[in-house]
Chains A and B, each alone.
Chain A
């Protein structure tokens, strides 16, 4: 198999490292990688995909190895870990191996579509933003597969957060973002929260440190395979996290 395709490189030295933390994403991983390759190929930006698999029992890693053979070891990097250790440490782990000067974080479950990445990159260049965040709440942004209850909780939680924290960004719990590498490094040092609150804390700390934030409307297509979770526990831990940030930042 031809593993080294020459990309129509945009010669400005910028390179984008996409971090894909996975756990049981055997179905989704090939698809997300295919889409990433497609859109980066079309736009011509230099990139690498770093798969951080947390010991998935479903064989995600074997699929990733096959993908590496297909697309090349310079494009697909495998940085597996032995067991599930959480999102925050996955980013740190992945970032250690990233050679790009920009880092893109996104979910590997296809709820974040790679077609938006060129828009993220253009947005970043437009204002030299320190981070660009995808937003479901503005412009053409939106969601698919959410019922009224889910929408109400989402909008309500977002409103409450806006009132209490005034973070200067419209989507705080989304996890589709582009960071300058050094910015992500400095944020990772400071963020301690878990789950939804982790993404929120990243934005709040970014604002606190006077980093600039750009936003790009995205459509969020809720998990095609597997169940998405929003139960009482998530809501309670969200409120706890919100109040913690309220009191400490």
Chain B
């Protein structure tokens, strides 16, 4: 990384000039590799893979003459998956809302510290 030298430049006499204002210059800094595939593409890939497997089994596209039960199980599978994901989501969000901490103590502590701070600041000569 060239960042070390950049930081020391920033600290130098010319800090004002060598800042971030010029995107062209900053682009020189070392860029770690970014993952190539967007989340959208990852999802599309995953869904189409699953869909392909589902279609293969359900419609027996490869002519494997799979037992009937395979097809019967596979056919409504997307609906099952959707419903169970929905249930999982609802349960998770509901649970997390339920256990969301109410920080009453923190609020009380803050109120006391505010009082203390105001007093101290007044003593130090602050006009609010």
- What total of A-B pairs shows CB separation below 8 Å? 134
Q: Are A70 and B21 in contact (CB under 8 A)?
A: no
Q: Are A96 and B100 in contact (CB under 8 A)?
A: no
How far is it, in angstroms, between the C-alpha of A26 and the C-alpha of B43 when the chains are bound?
47
Q: Are B20 and A144 in contact (CB under 8 A)?
A: no
B1-29 contacts to A, CB under 8 A, are 1, 3, 6-7, 11, 15-16, 19-21, 23, 26-27, 29
A217-249 contacts to B, CB under 8 A, are 219-221, 224, 245-249
How far is it, in angstroms, between the C-alpha of A247 and the C-alpha of B41 when the chains are bound?
8
Q: Are B32 and A210 in contact (CB under 8 A)?
A: yes
Q: Which residues of A contact B7 (CB under 8 A)?
A: 101, 181-182
Contact with A along B90-124 (1 / 0, CB 8 A): 00110011001111101100110110011011001
Interface size on A, residues (CB 8 A): 59
Q: Which residues of B contact A66 (CB under 8 A)?
A: 125-127
Residue B84 CB within 8 A of the other chain: no
- The stretch of A48-56, A118-126, A183-191, A193-201 that contacts the partner chain: A183-191
Residue B65 CB within 8 A of the other chain: no
Q: Are A249 and B38 in contact (CB under 8 A)?
A: yes
Given A152-B97, A159-B96, A219-B103: A249 in contact with B117 (beta carbons within 8 A) = no
Min CB–CB distance A122 → chain B (angstroms): 19
Q: Which residues of B contact A31 (CB under 8 A)?
A: 113-114, 117-118
Q: Which of A151, A159, A221 contacts B100 (CB 8 A)?
A: A151
How far is it, in angstroms, between the C-alpha of A186 and the C-alpha of B107 when the chains are bound?
35
Q: Which residues of B contact A144 (CB under 8 A)?
A: 102-104, 106-107
Q: Are B96 and A155 in contact (CB under 8 A)?
A: yes
Contact with B along A129-147 (1 / 0, CB 8 A): 0000000010011111110
Chain A minimum-CB-distance residue to B16: A96
Q: Are B93 and A159 in contact (CB under 8 A)?
A: yes
Interface of A is mostly: helix
Residue A169 CB within 8 A of the other chain: no
Residue B81 CB within 8 A of the other chain: no
Given contacts A30-B128, A97-B15, A143-B100, 4 further A-B contacts (CB under 8 A): A66-B127, A144-B104, A151-B97, A186-B31
Can you pick out 22 interface pairs between chain A and chain B where the beta carbons lie within 8 Å of each other? A1-B124, A27-B128, A92-B20, A92-B21, A96-B15, A99-B11, A101-B7, A110-B110, A142-B103, A143-B101, A144-B106, A146-B100, A148-B97, A151-B100, A155-B93, A155-B96, A163-B89, A166-B39, A186-B31, A211-B32, A224-B111, A224-B114
Q: Which residues of B contact A (CB under 8 A)?
A: 1, 3, 6-7, 11, 15-16, 19-21, 23, 26-27, 29, 31-35, 38-40, 43, 89, 92-93, 96-97, 100-104, 106-107, 110-111, 113-114, 117-118, 120-121, 124-128
Q: Which residues of A contact B (CB under 8 A)?
A: 1, 26-27, 30-31, 34-35, 63, 66-67, 69-70, 92, 95-97, 99, 101, 110, 113, 137, 140-146, 148, 151-152, 154-156, 158-159, 163-166, 181-182, 185-186, 188-189, 208-211, 219-221, 224, 245-249
